[in-house]
A and B are shown apart, each in its own frame.
Chain A
Amino acid sequence: MPDLLIVERAAEIVLNEARAMGASYADLRSVRISTETVRLANGQPDQIDRGRSAGFAVRVLADGAWGFASAPDLNEKTASALLKEAVAIAKASARLNAVPVSLAAMKSVQGQYTTPFQVNPFEVPLQDKIDFLRELDSALRANTAINETETFMEFRREEKWFYSTEGAAIIQTILHSGAGMVAAARRSRREAGERSFPTSGGQHVAGGYEVIANFGMREAAPRISEEAVLLLDAPVLPAQETTLILSGDLVSLQIHESIGHPLELDRVFGSERNFSGTSFATPEQRGALQYAAPIVTVYSDPSAPGGLGSYGYDDEGIPARRAALIEKGVLVDYLSSRETASRIGRDSTGAMRAESWGDLPLVRMTNINLEPGSGTLEELIAETDQGVTIETPAAWSIDDRRENFQLGGEVAWEIRGGKRGQIYKGAVYSGNTVTFWNNCDRIGGPAEYRIWGTPNCGKGQPGQNMRTGQGASPARFRNVRVGENA
């Protein structure tokens, strides 16, 4: 880490010199990131990576426009140089900006936050991790038809210092742990059945090494292997319009793509138009748009523990808080920054986040949590006379206004008379965001509610891979197009 004294001295220089250089606002963010990946392919270590990266960034407002500069080597000289560069950038931009940037008010904050954890994963011996993953591998291969396996763990620690001319002085340590496994029964290049657990790409949460034991991977291995083998010869899900029950991790993906992204207020105002697109959910619809059925309430909640969007403060120093985005189906707010919130006359929801020290904070998903209802996945299936249930994300695409989506899962089952029937591959479904969410008539309860982690949400230019959470239980949707060519 940059020594705390070096960070504080650099912050003092930036904050003191900023106004003299013409900046009306400045902040300094210094970050150190440590990562570790342990991956076994077919039971053998295939990838063991450790990385570290440290650096800092200065963000300013001058003449009503933003300027930003970042570099890896933090010291008094570079801090001063970056401030000068950021101010010059802001002043150059100002010539185009007829309306100066204004910021929603915030209270001066001084605080600390550390992800609650019991076991620091970076202190767990590598051999223990490899042994655990080999044990999972053996459990998957207990089914002799499984001939390809992958087991993995990933850990990330971010230590972050934030200071601003509005009096913020914040220190945070955010710790993420994740793991997953894949079993495949492969007959040929084009013939394979594959299943993942806890979800595709693994489950990732805020916490220490202890969380991995709670994923239930050992217990799930026989089921996952058996389903992979069954998928090898399973028929493709026939095209039909029917009742659809999604597993919690697919509901998480659905929230991510069709609620989280369209409610990023910077995107709503067009800042992603040239890359990841805009949003159908424009500001005049706040308070009026029946986005979803009345049983649907969705919060942004970085204060909820255990998600990849859990933190104490965002990258503008806004304290984490729960904010309703959709209340009883009605659009009530957006994920926002201080700048974008001020444009709709509201307070920031504290969603400004940067992937790394060198990246500009953008409005990103936090934990986007769907309030649970009641019952389990099996109970939802038992209540459904006819339909389809799909599990585990395998495919996703949505248009640039976040309306027309096509998502898919690893596996589907026919539901007939409240029971699972035929297993299917090619489990694709599609729809329109508002129609789909208004057809939600059942949400599962707290017993199967999880904050699912998405460790690779892409947005921005230069591209940033943000780590987001989506709280979800299984849920049921009526009149959905599923199957081939859905």
Chain B
Amino acid sequence: MGRTRSEIDHILEEALGLSTGDATELVFLGTRDVTTRFAESRIHQHMSASDERLVIRLHREGRIAVTATNDLSTSGLRQALATAADIAGFLEPVEPALGIVQSPAASAAVAYDESTDTADAALRAGMVERIVAAANAEKVQAAGLLRLTTNTTAVANSAGTRQFHAETVAELSISASDDAVLGQGWSTGISHRLADLDAEALARIAVGKAVRSRNPVAIPPGEYTVILEPAAVGQLLLFLGFLAFSGKSFAQGRGVLSGRIGETVTGANITIHEDPFLPEFAGMPFDYEGVPKKPVVLIENGVARGVVHDRASAVMAGTESTGHALPPDNARGPYPKNLTLLPGDSTLDGMIAATPRGLLITHFWYVNYLNPMKAQVSATTRDGTFLIENGSITQPVQNVRVTPAILEALARVEAIGKERILYPQYSAVMSVPAVKMAQVVVSGDDE
């Protein structure tokens, strides 16, 4: 870890004391990011990066100004606070008024692991070496990422809120490939403890897929039943987070669920929660406004039930914050970082066995908005796509493009897996099962 909690507390108290605002909110963000990337069976990037940043939200006569600095000396704090006070003079008062409140201390989450924080370069390189050896044994190339992050977050405000959270995150992602015959495979794992990541097991998954996906064939465009492995489900869920579950766009009437609470929006077998308290997440128990997080039911048995809020979106919507504010120098509004799709009772093998003709999709690449108003995205498959015929995987297929409208696609889910994995993307971690979905339009490989 970088600074101790008492050192961080000292910086926050000093900044609160120096502030000339009517009220002041502070977020301390400390990171140590140790990344080992490998490709062509060698380490090509190995780095350690540290930073600490203070984001200031200064209130003056109803106006709210934001600034950020990584100069945490007394003079640096003075300068940043003066900048915030200067900006406030140009703003209009926020309507309805936001103010600040004292939030109760959030319950502590056990998410820091010292052995992860202190894992040295030799240990990291040794882990990569084992992955590379597993790939080479099957005559495929290994590439990937081992990333160990230590995050320290503290929130304080002049109303008396004080929150602190330290966590370590160990993430391992492995790609295996055989370029001459277009074989691709992939796997991922994430935990607060490096020791929880089984490098050999994850390597076996990626390597096995690469071997099985050699010499993929083209398939005709058309409608297919698809089985999405958990990571692919997570990628679609993440976009619902952007498009449907944020209280800001919801309150502004632009969100996919705006005006639709209580309506059926997916199939009855779909229930989606935001729940940082699931044991596998052990997520930060408060948000960047210091508000303790609450679990939120977003979609229940196909019916839209709610969205996540920060304080501003909650005021707009006439409700309470659910504790999902992002850092204040972010204009996107609240965001669910721990989405979970409730499991069903199927297995991946069972779904395949019950599919006369369809596709098994490992993972997507470049999921991006196509028609945000319909929650429609465009993406290509990657890392192993397979044809299913008569209940069995018969051959690998070339990557294809799909353009699902996500809620409509979730209305055609025929089966949901009972096993879930943790899937990290951007700053979110989701708990997701595999899903079997009917009538997905596949547009081919464009050649």
Contacts and interface: CB of A to CB of B under 8 A. Distances in A.
A399 B366 contact: yes
A260 interface: no
Given A89-B121, A92-B124, A96-B125, A53 B49 contact: no
A409 B143 CA distance: 35
Nearest to A399: B380
Given A55-B70, A271-B44, A274-B175, A189 B253 contact: yes
B40 A270 contact: yes
A398 B366 contact: yes
Nearest to A53: B70
B379 interface: yes
B78 interface: no
A7 to B, nearest CB: 15
Contact of A53 (B39, B69, B132): B69
A49 B67 contact: yes
B340 to A, nearest CB: 24
B386 interface: no
A190 B255 CA distance: 9
B91 A92 contact: no
A432 to B, nearest CB: 5
Contacts of B368: 395-397
A87 B49 CA distance: 14
A94 B337 CA distance: 37
B301 interface: no
Nearest to A408: B370
A196 interface: no
Contacts of B365: 277, 399-400
Interface residues of B, number: 83
A403 B69 CA distance: 41
B446 A70 contact: no
Contact of B380 (A98, A400, A463): A400
Interface string A269-287: 1111111011000000000
B47 A360 contact: yes
B5 interface: no
Interface string B37-58: 1111111111111111100000
A47 interface: yes
Contact of A360 (B40, B45, B369): B45
A431 B446 contact: yes
B441 interface: yes
Contact of A435 (B66, B254, B399, B447): B447
Contacts of A57: 49
Interface stretch (A60-68, A224-232, A310-318): A60-68
Contacts of A96: 38, 41-43, 125, 128-129, 132
A166 B43 CA distance: 24
A367 interface: no
A211 interface: no
Nearest to B84: A50
Nearest to A402: B366
Interface in B73-94: 80, 83, 86-87, 90-92
Given A71-B50, A461-B37, A190 B374 contact: yes
B374 A72 contact: no
Contact of A92 (B33, B121, B147, B447): B121
Interface in B126-166: 128-129, 132, 141, 143-145, 147
Contacts of B174: 274
A274 B46 contact: no
B371 A426 contact: yes
Contacts of A295: none
A45 B426 CA distance: 29
A403 B179 CA distance: 15
Interface string A385-405: 000000000011111100111
Contacts of B379: 397
The 8 tightest CB contacts between A and B, nearest first, are A92-B121, A68-B47, A93-B43, A399-B380, A273-B143, A270-B39, A404-B446, A51-B68
7 contacts: A48-B65, A54-B71, A270-B40, A271-B39, A277-B365, A358-B51, A435-B447
Given A48-B66, A52-B68, A485-B403, 18 more contacts: A49-B67, A52-B80, A53-B53, A68-B45, A91-B121, A92-B120, A92-B121, A93-B43, A126-B86, A189-B253, A189-B258, A189-B259, A190-B374, A192-B373, A277-B382, A358-B51, A426-B371, A462-B35
Interface of B: 33, 35-53, 65-71, 80, 83, 86-87, 90-92, 120-122, 124-125, 128-129, 132, 141, 143-145, 147, 173-175, 177, 179, 186, 253-256, 258-259, 329, 331, 365-371, 373-374, 378-380, 382, 399, 401, 403, 426, 441, 443, 445-447
